Amino acid sequence: MKGKSSTMQKDGNGIVGLLKSFKDKHPDIYEFILFNIMSNVATITNFIMLWIGTGILFTPFSDIDFHWFVFDYSAEEGGLGAFLSFLLAYVCAQIVNFIVQRKIVFSATVNIMKVLPWYILTITVAGLISVWLPPYIIAQLTPYVGAFAATIANAVNILVQVLINYPMMKFVIMKKE
């Protein structure tokens, strides 16, 4: 059995061979799947920084109400400390996401200083939508699906983020020069 496995790998019939074959036949689909998988690195960064922010860095500010623009964080919901924690988590996640997507997904060699304004604009728009959209969806769906509305809102929010971020990164930010 050992010999057969080695033969399969040499012939390119193993998992690596299958992935390479899929990538060769469907490069855009492969890239899109890799984009979504690698986005999880940013998600993990986001959670870690959120926990550090809310548990350590910004706890002294959690009793202070924070209301500005579309942001509404009462002290009962973590106040200024929660806002700062979410902001820190989002910024760190987006920095990690830029690096991971640039290096691993798109293999881009773009001049960072040329594309940085586009990336900042993209993540700002996506960030504002992600703050505004979930409460609206939850309010609309709660009468029909109850507490499951938050899950649906999160799924829609993720879909919207992908619909904004992937095309911008592929066709504008990480575009081959």
Residue (of 52, 44, 42) closest to 99 by Cα position: 42
The pTM (predicted TM-score) of the whole model is: 0.81
- Dist. CA 130–CA 148, nearest whole Å: 18
Q: Helices 15-25 and 27-52: crossing angle, nearest 10°? A: 110
Q: What is the predicted pLDDT for the residue at 12?
A: 60
Write the DSSP symbol of residue 55: I
At residue 67, φ and ψ (nearest 5 deg) are -135, 115
Q: d(Cα 52, Cα 89) in Å, to the nearest integer?
A: 9
Tokens (6 digits) for 91? 């910024």
- State residue 133's pLDDT score: 86
Residue 108 is classified by DSSP as: -
Helix pair angle (2-11, 15-25), 10° resolution: 20
User: What is the spatial distance between Cα 106 and Cα 108, in angstroms, rounded to a whole number?
Assistant: 5
pLDDT (tens place) for every residue of the chain, 177 residues total: 455 444 444 556 789 889 899 999 999 999 999 999 999 999 999 899 989 999 999 999 999 999 998 888 888 888 899 899 989 999 999 999 999 999 999 999 999 999 999 999 999 999 898 888 888 888 899 999 988 888 888 888 889 989 999 999 999 999 866
Does residue 83 contact residue 63 with C-beta atoms inside 8 Å? no
Q: Where are the domains of the chain?
A: 15-107, 110-177
